[in-house]
Chain A
Amino acid sequence: MGDYSTNMYSPRAVSIVRTLPQISEHRLFQLKLEDGGTWDTFGHQPGQFIEVSLFGKGEAPISISSPPTRPDTLEICVRRTGKLTDALFELGKGSRLHIRGPYGKGFPLDRLKGNNLLLVAGGLGLAPLRSLLLYVLDRRDEFGDLILMYGTNSPDNVLFKYELLSFFDRDDIKYLYSVDRDEEGIWKQYVGVVTGLFDQATLSPDNTCAVLCGPPIMYRFVLEKLLNLGFSKDRIYMSLERMMKCGVGKCGHCAMGDKYCCTDGPVFNYAEIEHIKEAI
């Protein structure tokens, strides 16, 4: 009979080091391992996700927001949107929770290295993309030019505001913001949808990879823009959101076409999923 000691569904205990309020209903949780060690041994890559467990509330997939180049903590940026996240928001420093992972195929670092990068984020889509963004900043010489376009619906909803503001002082990242609406007239950057930012950037499709993360509607418009600019489909990467219940390709919830979002993704290039109608 077989060996049943390795169980991919067994969650491990971690504890909360700090909670950092972001915008309304969004919070950043810094986690540490129970043994106090660094997260080097966890082996996570930018773009991967974990399953977060709070007993009685269940499990939910949440993307990792911090890069492996900063192994002191593991950060997750959470929107309060359901039973589990409601309970998570009740927890503070020192509280215990359980996680499994890391899961999924993250951003293809080997493919991205040596290329110029265009990162396009919408809303909470910045959470997974931040793991790549910080990774690139930490290993800046391995990548070409870096452009970040970030769109939110209003000036009140900019995630990681202070971190993003600090990029204005750097000359190794071009940072373009947009907000859909600015009712109070306080926004000094672009007002309009994120695709409007493309007028402010010069892009060379041959040696640039585009990495997108945002709501489905954003994908449709940004994809159109990129294809019109001449980007080939396999140079456009997207992180998709699905109900990835088990995270390991068994429960079936995140299946789309011949792919499982949790194990084949959540990062896909457009050529891989173009034929799957329900993908985007």
Chain B
Amino acid sequence: MKTLAKKDLVDVLRYWTGHCTVMTPGRKSHDEIVFDEFDEATFTLDYRKPSLPPKSSCLPQSETIFQVDSGTYEPRISEAKVLLFGIRACDMTGILQSKSFMTADTDDVFYRARAENLATVVMACSGPQNETCFCTTTRSGPFSKQGFDLQFYDVGDSFLVEIGSDKGAVLASAKGFAEADDEAARKRVELFRHEAQGRIALLPEVSQAMERLERGGVSEELWDKFGSKCIVCGGCTYVCPTCTCFNVADRHSGNGGGERIRTWDACLYAGFTKEASGHNPRKTQGLRIKRRHEHKLLYYTDRDTHEGLCTCVGCGRCSDYCPVHIGTIEVVKAIAGEQS
């Protein structure tokens, strides 16, 4: 365990920028908290849950995967070294789960290169960041148990810093970090964790919904009801830390060359499953919403969940941002409340 005085944090961040691109929370226009390249003018520790998860650090919303020239496809593997400072535990779990999915069995090198060149500094939550947090239910917060390089606990004027990897040990060798008195520090962290966990309400409807999905006991009417409300914006998938579905398209730049790019995609779109023949196996919006939630709550593998309950990490963003209230919280409550 290390300790770092808060007054020394900016110096540490500045030092790290000499070795990699450091992404931190910043207070931008309209008071929006955005993870962006470290900028002393906007950097803040007074932030809650950023609107977007940090998944674009490994799977950018749009990225060139091949440069194509005279019929040769040259892969564009990212060499960028990026450090994410201050991400939340739910988002850390999201990165872990997505990395496992994207690189196990078949290896997505574009993703893996970014993930392996990523350093993560988790800021443990002292309680819910807003009313939609349910990470204690999904076992993905309020602090991380694995996967992080460093984890910060805000204990007033200083942070207690947990080292999670060799990379983390190197990061914590920067000037400013000091050895923490182990026994006292451990007790302080235990107390922090215990209090934080106690402040985040459990959402028992999650496991109730999971059980009901497992039994096949959810009516088609329930999905159709959500389907008729859905405005098909795809926003729930964009703000989801574990949604990694993508599309691939080619962009010409003349002379037969150009770029092959991939972009985020969403299972909520009708075209997502439509085949060239015109046949669409997932015919209704209700079925598409069912797919999204079953993927999180039913069709996950132990390989991908790590210590989490499922592949929903309980960040609550889909409930925060869905304009028509079809977030995971609303869906699990509807499932759990349905008469069987």
Contact across chains for B112 and A251 when beta carbons are under 8 A apart? no
- Contact among A4, A246, A279 for B109, CB-based, below 8 A: A4
Q: Is A43 an interface residue (CB 8 A)?
A: no
Contact across chains for A9 and B245 when beta carbons are under 8 A apart? no
Contact across chains for B106 and A263 when beta carbons are under 8 A apart? yes
- Contact among B247, B274, B295 for A255, CB-based, below 8 A: B295
Contact across chains for A58 and B249 when beta carbons are under 8 A apart? yes
Q: Which residues of B contact A243 (CB under 8 A)?
A: 272-276
- Contact among B107, B110, B244, B252 for A56, CB-based, below 8 A: B252
Q: Is A166 an interface residue (CB 8 A)?
A: no
CB distance from B48 to the nearest CB of A (A): 30
CB distance from B264 to the nearest CB of A (A): 11
Q: Is B117 an interface residue (CB 8 A)?
A: yes
Contact across chains for A253 and B273 when beta carbons are under 8 A apart? yes
Contact across chains for B247 and A249 when beta carbons are under 8 A apart? no
CA distance A57 to B251 in the complex (A): 9
Binds A, one of B6-14, B19-27, B202-210, B279-287: B279-287
Given contacts A7-B75, A253-B273, contact A248 B279 (CB under 8 A): no
Q: Which residues of B contact A192 (CB under 8 A)?
A: none
Q: Which residues of B contact A59 (CB under 8 A)?
A: 248
Contact across chains for B250 and A56 when beta carbons are under 8 A apart? yes
Contact across chains for A9 and B274 when beta carbons are under 8 A apart? no
Q: Is A181 an interface residue (CB 8 A)?
A: no
Complex interface bits, B161-191 against A, C-beta within 8 A gives 1, otherwise 0: 0000000000000000000000000000000
- Contact among B68, B110, B117, B250 for A9, CB-based, below 8 A: B110
Q: Is B338 an interface residue (CB 8 A)?
A: no
Q: Which residues of B contact A82 (CB under 8 A)?
A: 276
Given contacts A7-B109, A58-B249, A249-B105, contact A81 B291 (CB under 8 A): no
Q: Is A37 an interface residue (CB 8 A)?
A: no
| Chain B interface residue number, banded | 35 or more
Q: Is B49 an interface residue (CB 8 A)?
A: no
Contact across chains for B107 and A10 when beta carbons are under 8 A apart? no
Q: Which residues of A contact B291 (CB under 8 A)?
A: 255
CA distance A59 to B75 in the complex (A): 16
Closest to B259 in A: A55
Q: Which residues of A contact B113 (CB under 8 A)?
A: 2, 4
Closest to B65 in A: A9
Q: Is A252 an interface residue (CB 8 A)?
A: yes
CB distance from B279 to the nearest CB of A (A): 7
Q: Is A205 an interface residue (CB 8 A)?
A: no
Q: Is A216 an interface residue (CB 8 A)?
A: yes
- Contact among B107, B257, B279 for A216, CB-based, below 8 A: B279
Q: Which residues of B contact A258 (CB under 8 A)?
A: 298-299
Given contacts A55-B256, A216-B279, A249-B106, contact A11 B248 (CB under 8 A): no
Contact across chains for B73 and A8 when beta carbons are under 8 A apart? no
Contact across chains for A55 and B258 when beta carbons are under 8 A apart? yes
CB distance from B240 to the nearest CB of A (A): 12
CA distance A280 to B276 in the complex (A): 17
Contact across chains for A81 and B244 when beta carbons are under 8 A apart? no
Of B71, B250, B277, B281, the most chain A CB neighbours within 10 A belong to B281
Q: Is B77 an interface residue (CB 8 A)?
A: yes
Complex interface bits, B107-133 against A, C-beta within 8 A gives 1, otherwise 0: 111101100110000000000000000
CB neighbors of B among A209-259 (8 A): 215-216, 241-243, 245-246, 248-258
Q: Is B39 an interface residue (CB 8 A)?
A: no
Given contacts A2-B112, A2-B116, A98-B73, contact A8 B105 (CB under 8 A): no
Contact across chains for B248 and A242 when beta carbons are under 8 A apart? no
Q: Which residues of A contact B245 (CB under 8 A)?
A: 251-253
Of B77, B107, B257, the most chain A CB neighbours within 10 A belong to B107
Q: Which residues of A contact B105 (CB under 8 A)?
A: 249, 263
Q: Is A1 an interface residue (CB 8 A)?
A: yes
Q: Which residues of A contact B77 (CB under 8 A)?
A: 4, 7
CB distance from A56 to the nearest CB of B (A): 5
CB neighbors of B among A72-99 (8 A): 79, 81-82, 85, 96, 98
Q: Is A278 an interface residue (CB 8 A)?
A: yes
Given contacts A10-B75, A216-B279, A256-B281, contact A58 B248 (CB under 8 A): yes
Contact across chains for B281 and A242 when beta carbons are under 8 A apart? yes
What would be 28 A-B contacts, judged by CB atoms less than 8 Å apart?
A2-B113, A4-B109, A8-B106, A9-B65, A9-B75, A10-B66, A11-B73, A55-B260, A58-B248, A81-B276, A85-B276, A96-B71, A98-B73, A216-B281, A241-B277, A243-B272, A243-B273, A243-B275, A243-B276, A250-B101, A250-B108, A251-B246, A251-B247, A252-B245, A252-B272, A253-B273, A257-B299, A263-B106
**Beyond A253-B247, A258-B298, 11 additional pairs, beta carbon < 8 A:** A7-B109, A8-B106, A55-B250, A85-B276, A96-B71, A216-B281, A242-B273, A249-B105, A251-B265, A253-B245, A253-B273
